[in-house]
Amino acid sequence: MSQPELVELRKQLKDMLESGIIKPAKSPYGAPVLFQKKADGSLRMCCDYRALNKITVKNKYPIPLVADYFDRLSQANYFTKIDLRSDYWLRIKEGDEAKTTVVTRTLAEHVEHLQQVLARLREYELYAKVSKCSFAQETISFLGHIVERGRIRMDPKKVQAIEEWKPPSDVHDLCLFLGLVNYYRRFVKSYSEIARPMTDLLKKTETWNWTPQCQESFDRLKRAMVTDPVLALPDMSKPFVVETDASDFALGGVLMQDGHPVAFENRKLKDVQRRYSVHEKELLA
């Protein structure tokens, strides 16, 4: 641990002791501490509990889909984002998680709801980090996306990261790249078809060989991501249109509303499915 990190560790431990978040203890167990730099340059203290996790009984539950959060915003005209200091230390009462989402159509209604939220934060002495809060915005950054009235697009910072990404030199680099672009696959038509040469390299039976086809796949996927695609947020009161298609290697589909794409969905065909007839592939799609 570097000297600046050691100074920061002592400071954060002192603050947590004085706040009653932690207390002195004599335990036969311990975990190493490390720091992660935040976007604003400050340091977040983390504990490496991997050894403890290996002997901990797992309490498994499904992770919410990011798309589900965006669906809730389809009727919103104004957005507020409040970032609490050390929010990951707080536990939400079981069953109350859904109550943390607020959507409003008018500015007056939004202000009213915001006042209620701030009053509750004051009541329980919870403090927001003003530098990371946004109030009554018509456009807001949320979970790596830019959300505005009825529309959603990729965060320009993520688009820039994809645009500047160098061709992978090994499987690890490829996994990092695919992990980033896969998060935004709903924005790209025929994602699985485009990415197939690269995803085939991840098979255990394959050895690393970055072919011209892989480079073309890499370039095509980057171009598709950096064209700033925009999707419509779904309006559950209106009908949807689904269009599907199939190729020799993948299935694809687009969910549309009022002529605007809401999401692109696609996946590769399994080996046995690739032997289907054209009509069977279309029906599968």
Specify whether 114 is located in the same domain as 45: no
Give yes or no: residues 188 and 279 share one domain. Answer: yes
Alpha-carbon distance of 34 to 46, in angstroms, equals 5
Query: In this predicted structure, what is the pLDDT of residue 146?
Result: 92
pTM assigned to the model: 0.69
Determine the pLDDT at residue 173: 95
pLDDT at position 89 is 55
- Examine the fold and report which residue of 134, 153, 172 is the final residue of a domain before the chain moves on: 153
DSSP helix/strand/coil, 77: coil
Asked whether residue 60 is assigned to any structural domain, the reply reads: no
Query: What's the pLDDT at 1?
Result: 76
Task: Write down the residue that tokens 């957005």 correspond to.
Answer: 79
In what helix (H) or strand (E) does residue 242 lie, and over which residues does it extend?
Answer: strand 241-246
Residue 126 lies in a domain: yes
Does one domain contain both 166 and 275? Answer: yes
Give the C-alpha separation, 29 to 52, whole Å: 9
Last residue of a domain, one of 153, 171, 196: 153
Number of domains in the chain: 3
pLDDT recorded at residue 94: 57
Report, as ranges of residue numbers, the positions in the chain whose pLDDT lies below 50.
92, 96-101
Own/partner contacts of 102-107, CB < 8 Å, gap of 24 or more, are 103/72, 103/73, 103/75, 103/76, 104/76, 104/77, 104/78, 105/75, 105/76, 105/77, 105/78, 106/77, 106/78, 107/77, 107/78, 107/136
Predicted local distance difference test score (pLDDT) of residue 5: 87
Does residue 176 sit in the same domain as residue 251? yes
Return the SS3 of 278.
helix
Tell me if residue 79 falls in helix, strand or coil. strand
Assigned domain for 130 exists:
yes
Do 135 and 28 belong to one domain?
no
Q: What is the CATH number of the domain that holds 181?
A: 3.10.20.370
Q: Are residues 132 and 244 in the same domain?
A: no
Q: What is the domain extent for residue 100?
A: 66-153
